[in-house]
Amino acid sequence: MDLDPVRLKVLDLIRDRTPPTDMKNASLAMGRNAAYLHQFVYRGTPKVLSEDDRETLSEHLGCKPIDLKHKKTPPRKPRKKSVPRENRVEPSSVAGVPEGYLAIPEIDVRASAGPGAMNEGLEETKEMWFFPDPVIRHEFRAQPADLRMITIDGDSMEPLLASGDRILIDTSQRIPVPPGIFVIWDGMGLVAKRIEHEPNSEPPKVVIKSVNPDYETYERDAEEVHMIGRVVWTSRRL
């Protein structure tokens, strides 16, 4: 979909904010789910921001509510009370998880950092990894159901990521604002690349970069890039 001025404004404000923020944290600051702004910007749901949403988002982004107003904005509606975090039930289908730890699946694919491994999807669980609960929630700032572990294959991201490194991806973070290392599907396989949103591009574009200078930087329309998730952690065997 073509992004209107308000949606482009949201992307620019998120990119330029100090201290940094991203779609997920901005959504949570609004009292919404982590994917709310992604759906608003790229899927057109909702079509416009309500008065409540404009007020809370403008406070987070340091702008005026009027900056985020479309020509037609729905009237203020009572906000449903959210379930307190301490009362939420976290999904867990893994037996034998040590107390105070959360289980994260390692997926049986290799994320190519080069030409592209011939794998598609994130379905086959290879094994489970246990992370301390505080690390998941406070260090990674993620929900355990959104995390997947996969393995790097290739040299295009060296020396940052080497072939055989394990990376943890947050599948709820699929918008490159701020820029970062993402796993994407390139039509041939899963690849790890540095992805940046091109400001004020029409249609919206992203810049796809490798760390290894032997690989070229290129641009793609945002709608052509299948974002799997943002890399939030890596492990390397010495």
Total domains, the chain: 2
Judge if 64 and 116 occupy the same domain.
Answer: no
For the segment 153-173, the average pLDDT, to the nearest whole number, is 91
Q: Is residue 50 part of a domain?
A: yes
Residues 49 and 157 in one domain: no
Residue 43 has what pLDDT? 75
**pLDDT at 68 (0 to 100):** 93
Print the domain residue range for 55.
5-68
Which of residues 150 and 42 earns the better pLDDT score?
A: 150
Task: Specify the DSSP element, H or E, that contains 42.
Answer: helix 36-43
Kindly state whether residues 188 and 231 are assigned to the same domain: yes
Is 94 contained in some domain? no
User: What confidence tens digit (pLDDT) does each residue in 7-41 have?
Assistant: 889 999 999 988 888 888 888 888 887 778 887 88
Domain shared by 110 and 215, yes or no? yes
Half-sphere exposure of 102 (CA within 13 A, CB side): 18
Q: Show which of 68, 88, 108 is a domain's final residue.
A: 68
10 within a domain of the structure (yes/no)? yes
Predicted local distance difference test score (pLDDT) of residue 25: 87
What 3 state SS string does 149-203 have?
Answer: EEEEECCCCCCCCCCCCEEEEECCCCCCCCCEEEEEECCCCEEEEEEEEECCCCC
Query: Quick check: 145 pLDDT over 80?
Result: yes
Check whether residue 110 and residue 220 sit in a common domain: yes
Element (DSSP H or E) covering residue 130: strand 125-132
Average pLDDT along the chain:
80
88-127 pLDDT, tens digit per residue, is 334 345 567 888 899 888 887 655 454 444 334 445 677 8
Query: pLDDT per residue over 147-157, tens digit each?
Result: 999 889 888 99
Amino acid at 15: R
Q: What is the pLDDT of residues 193-233, one digit of tens each?
A: 999 988 888 888 899 999 999 999 988 888 888 888 999 99
Q: At 214, give phi and psi (nearest 5°).
A: -75, -10
Residue 208 domain flag: yes
Task: Output phi, psi for 215, to 5 deg.
Answer: -110, 140
Q: Inform me whether the pLDDT recorded for 74 exceeds 80.
A: no
User: How many of the other CB atoms lie within 10 Å of CB of 126?
Assistant: 13
- Residue 110, pLDDT score: 55
81 pLDDT band (50/70/90 cuts)? Answer: very low
Q: Check whether residue 189 and residue 112 sit in a common domain.
A: yes
Domain match, 139 and 200 both: yes
| 32 in the same domain as 125 | no
CATH code for the domain in which residue 33 is found: 1.10.260
| 63 and 116 co-located in one domain | no
Q: Residue 114 domain-assigned?
A: yes
- How far apart CA 223 and CA 206 sit, in angstroms, is 9
- The pLDDT assigned to 116 comes to 42
* The last residue of a domain, from among 48, 68, 88: 68
Tell me whether residue 88 is in a domain: no
> To 10 degrees, the CA torsion angle through 86, 105, 180, 37?
-50
Q: What is the dihedral of CA 107, 23, 42, 191, to 10 degrees?
A: -30
Note the pLDDT of residue 123.
Answer: 54
Residue 90 lies in a domain: no
What's the pLDDT score for residue 221?
A: 85
Stretch 183-192: mean pLDDT, rounded? 78
Distance CA 55, CA 52 (A): 5
CATH of the domain at 164: 2.10.109.10
Q: Do 22 and 104 lie in a common domain? A: no
- Do 19 and 107 fall into the same domain? no
Residue 141 CB neighbours (<10 A): 15
Q: Are residues 12 and 117 in the same domain?
A: no
Burial class, 216, CB count within 10 angstroms (exposed 0-12 / middle 13-18 / buried 19+): exposed
* Residue 74: inside a domain: no
